[in-house]
Structure 1
């Protein structure tokens, strides 16, 4: 029997497992497919909410803490696994922002570097941006990660830890209960026992919690993205315009995203979405029109009513916990969100006030 059973092998589940194992606990990680292959793989890897001044205080608290954590995590994983998550802090250019005053007020309040810059600055930083830009907002501290490599590095690190047992292609089918206590997690590979269970199932979290009579308002929200095979330095840093973005990788490839689609668990691709993403990317960087679209994919975000994740104990069950509902900011919030829950599980002083993220008794089924 493990000290903890973690359900879900995305970035939330992987980081939860790592922190618990680092603290000396035994952990069994259960993943219905392959670790890190759902939303954690499909996202863009920007280590910030897209327009951070438009988010509520609970999200801002978690994202601010997480942003400062990623540089050291990337260096650690590179040293321990040989896989480079490619953390790059090259800043972000915001084009055509219609609420600049709100953005600047937010930056002053939180002490975040954000400034209005002129055309000369923009084209010095990003020579291939669309012609005619006269000004922009510049956030120099923004970083990005190559998220498929991040989750691969986390998976390899956990695979080398003696206190961690990973079971992939192992779907959870239910929970064996005795009164308010979970005795074991039922899976397609048999029962798995642990002192505490943690649901980190992303878009599938609501379905898992229904099995214990909790109706968590988390739903799948599809996002499609495309990848350009571009030469190095065609795009140097993240550029955001009209809600769409381009993200460069170290080898020159450029991601463009993303759509927001309410289609349930359907991950099918559409030609209309591909064309829309291509047009948005080419509006930002016209010379991307000369580059091959190498890949087109979709992922399912765990949408929640206001984007604030649910983090904490599950009402009515004394040893079941959840960390889900991060919506568009799973990677952004992961270090802080997982640390917050682990702090509570281990009786440590939490990094932020846990109350805004706690599950309410209202989610219990009647």
Structure 2
């Protein structure tokens, strides 16, 4: 089976890896550099920011992925020599408005989320600011160094003889034979395949408009800033008022992020910089005199309720989706890609695929709508 993967972020790269491991011939292409969009720009927390606020569909994928990430990092390091740095620091949520709902969710889902005294938080996280009164803690939460993750996945795919990678190769349309999609058109020529998977992140909805398909995936801009501190400056991730601080092993501290509907504009703005710096100082006052060493924006693939589209497109044989992960692409990637591979290869799926099925969740032209 020859599979064409459109989109080379974490979702496309990991999907390609799993399908190639199963023996498929995989061609992966991206309009830019592999891993260069939201998979590079995100923070890499291996948890939804507020997991209790999501539907069971998101929770199921998140739990499976969280348990799988350490093994994935070990595999990629052994194969490529590139460490994705899955860094278990735990996460503190501060002054939540829905603390009771969070604790009830933790009991229901069997997750280790507990209320902790704010004094104990200050002892565990000495640079934390003084203006907080309540905290919840989940000790096992990790973050992944997302640029290194995509770099490791790219290197792993380059070593597989049944995988071909094409960067700077934008799709201009699909090759269609009746009710079947059998490839894509690019500036470098047509590429044919038995199945085409759209994993193009924020660009997925726009890409499918050429087929008359209304896929509710749209770009949602997020800006972040980066500081460089001592390696032991921040021992845990902290989150308050929708903003978070993420420590990397080498002392870099990420502060994010904004939530903006600005189309495909990825321009960093001075307003966002000022807002993020204010949040950074509120969380960690010692950053007031620290230099911002990075400021960037990425485009999340916004979708209804943040539930991704995973599965075949009804009425167009050969066309599949793995997109629309919104703010949780890196969190949900291992499970989403495993589910896609299970469905494409006819295996028992790791979770119930129904909540993610494109059927009934996308608008098709009348001639394609299933009876």
Shorter chain as normaliser: what TM range? over 0.9
Corresponding residue for residue 365 of structure 2: 365
**Other structure's SS at 1:363 match:** coil
Deviation readout 1:140-170 (Å, 9 max, x if unpaired)? 0111011011001101110111110000000
Corresponding residue for residue 323 of structure 1: 322
Q: Tell whether the 8 Å contact from 1:244 to 1:258 is kept in structure 2 after alignment.
A: yes
Deviation of the 1:267 alpha carbon: 0.6
Q: Tell me the TM-score normalised to structure 1 length.
A: 0.98
Alignment partners' CA distance in 1, 2:86 and 2:288: 27
Corresponding residue for residue 190 of structure 2: 191
Alignment partners' CA distance in 2, 1:277 and 1:233: 22
Corresponding residue for residue 226 of structure 1: 225
Structure 1 unaligned blocks of 5 or more: none
Corresponding residue for residue 284 of structure 1: 283
Please provide the CA RMSD for this pair: 1.1
Corresponding residue for residue 167 of structure 2: 168
Q: Tell whether the 8 Å contact from 1:122 to 1:135 is kept in structure 2 after alignment.
A: no
Deviation of the 1:309 alpha carbon: 0.7
Deviation of the 1:135 alpha carbon: 3.2
Corresponding residue for residue 89 of structure 1: 88
Deviation of the 1:184 alpha carbon: 2.2
Structure 2 unaligned blocks of 5 or more: 367-371
Tell me which stretches of 4 or more aligned residues in structure 1 moved more than 3 Å: 132-135
After superposing the two structures, state which structure 1 stretch, 182-191 or 19-28, moved more: 182-191
Corresponding residue for residue 6 of structure 2: 7
Alignment partners' CA distance in 2, 1:63 and 1:346: 22
Alignment partners' CA distance in 2, 1:176 and 1:201: 17
After superposing the two structures, state which structure 1 stretch, 25-34 or 122-131, moved more: 122-131
Q: Tell me the TM-score normalised to structure 2 length.
A: 0.96
Deviation readout 1:23-58 (Å, 9 max, x if unpaired)? 111100011000000000000000000010011110
Alignment partners' CA distance in 1, 2:210 and 2:133: 55
Alignment partners' CA distance in 1, 2:199 and 2:4: 10
Matches for 1:6-85 after TM superposition, within 5 Å = 6-85=5-84
Alignment partners' CA distance in 2, 1:125 and 1:3: 52
Corresponding residue for residue 145 of structure 1: 144
Deviation of the 1:235 alpha carbon: 1.2
Corresponding residue for residue 110 of structure 1: 109
Deviation of the 1:80 alpha carbon: 0.9
Is the aligned partner of 1:340 residue 2:339? yes
Q: Tell whether the 8 Å contact from 2:239 to 2:245 is kept in structure 1 after alignment.
A: yes
Alignment partners' CA distance in 2, 1:308 and 1:338: 14
Deviation of the 1:194 alpha carbon: 1.0
Q: Tell whether the 8 Å contact from 1:230 to 1:292 is kept in structure 2 after alignment.
A: no
Q: Tell whether the 8 Å contact from 1:46 to 1:145 is kept in structure 2 after alignment.
A: yes
Alignment partners' CA distance in 2, 1:134 and 1:187: 56
Corresponding residue for residue 159 of structure 1: 158
> How many pairs were matched up?
365
**Other structure's SS at 2:194 match:** strand
Alignment partners' CA distance in 2, 1:14 and 1:225: 24
**Other structure's SS at 1:240 match:** strand
Deviation of the 1:294 alpha carbon: 0.2
After superposing the two structures, state which structure 1 stretch, 101-110 or 111-120, moved more: 111-120
